[in-house]
Amino acid sequence: MPTPLSIDDFLQGSGPILDVRSPGEYAQGHIPGAVSFPLFTDSERAQVGTCYKQVGREAAVELGFDLAGPKCGEFVRLAKSLAPDRQLRVHCWRGGMRSGGIGWILELAGFTVQSLAGGYKSYRRWVRETLAIAKPIVVLGGMTGSGKTLILQELAALGESVLDLEALANHRGSSFGALLLPPQPSTEHYENLLAAQWAAFAHHRPIWLEAESRRVGTCRIPQELFEQMEAAPAVEVVRSLDERLDLLVDIYGAASPDSLVAATERIRKRLGGDRTQAAIQHIRSGNLRGACTIILDYYDRAYRHDLERHPKSIPQVDISGLSPVASACRLLEQVQLDQAPQLNTAAGTKPYSCSQSG
């Protein structure tokens, strides 16, 4: 039988991770990087579960063998393609029969197999515990179109720790945020993705992330992380309106008029009927800049209202006219001047200069 490992040993182990739960379970959420390797299809899993409840464990086990038996050769061939060195890690929901069954089959075929004690359920506990670990944070704020995502990307390129909440959610955080992006993960899987990155960040270096509400599209930021964001120091980037409009037109210019209109309709109540109709007319006539000018007025008012609800002072950094990399360097300089003692950036951090941006 597979050798059971604790969650930490399992995650640090070698070989592909095979998630032997059903495809539906995997789609809801899985260990990042794990391969879907289902013992049963969704309908087969339902059959076994119904049999267990109505008839009993022994009958369900027999049904499981009937369903999985013909697939054994396929399992072995697929495992060989995934792990030429024959080192594998497997898990199911609780670390029970499904992972044990697959592990037994693969061990008979010559694989070395390790399993996750407690299964995916124990991994989910690890996710919550990991996200609750306190680490230093810098929250990057700024009005819509300020280029915060581009700056975060440059900060990461400069070696800073960056948690891109929007990139992991496949959403830019507004009514228009899903346009031109892949489907969003479930909130459960979003938490998994966040925890995987959070665990990798050092404790002594500040972690940069963008100011967000509790939701990024349909994904909800875990309470453990959101509480840390609320208490963290923040810095706000400021850019001219023309530059912000340029950036928004560049981002959303490839979106279809129908999708832009639908996104505008979703904020009709907040934007107001007349402004909504004016923005839609601009979109239909191909004047996206005109539409963005109207819509930005709403988002700017919402941003200022949110700032007024938080009494803490937030320093501003004017990045008008600067490239994303120059903006990142200026932010690093400002944060080191204003917040270094609070963030403990002196440990392992070298002073930055915008001259480094090239």
Which residues are known catalytic residues?
92
- Placement of tokens 């063998």 in the chain: 65
Q: Which amino acid is at 155?
A: L
Nearest to 330 by CA among 248, 229, 143, 338: 338
User: Strand 215-216 to strand 219-220: parallel, antiparallel, or no bridges (unpaired)?
Assistant: antiparallel
Q: Of the candidates 155, 167, 217, which has an alpha carbon nearest to the alpha carbon of residue 194?
A: 167
Residue 174 dihedral angles phi and psi, to the nearest 5°: -135, 180
Angle between helices 119-131 and 223-231 (to 10 degrees): 10
The encoded tokens of residue 83 equal 């792990």
Q: Which amino acid is at 254?
A: A
Looking at the DSSP bridge assignments, the partners of residue 137 are 207
Contact yes or no for 111/38 (Cβ under 8 A): no
174 touches 295 (CB < 8 A): no
Q: How far is it, in rounded angstroms, from Cα 3 to Cα 107?
A: 11
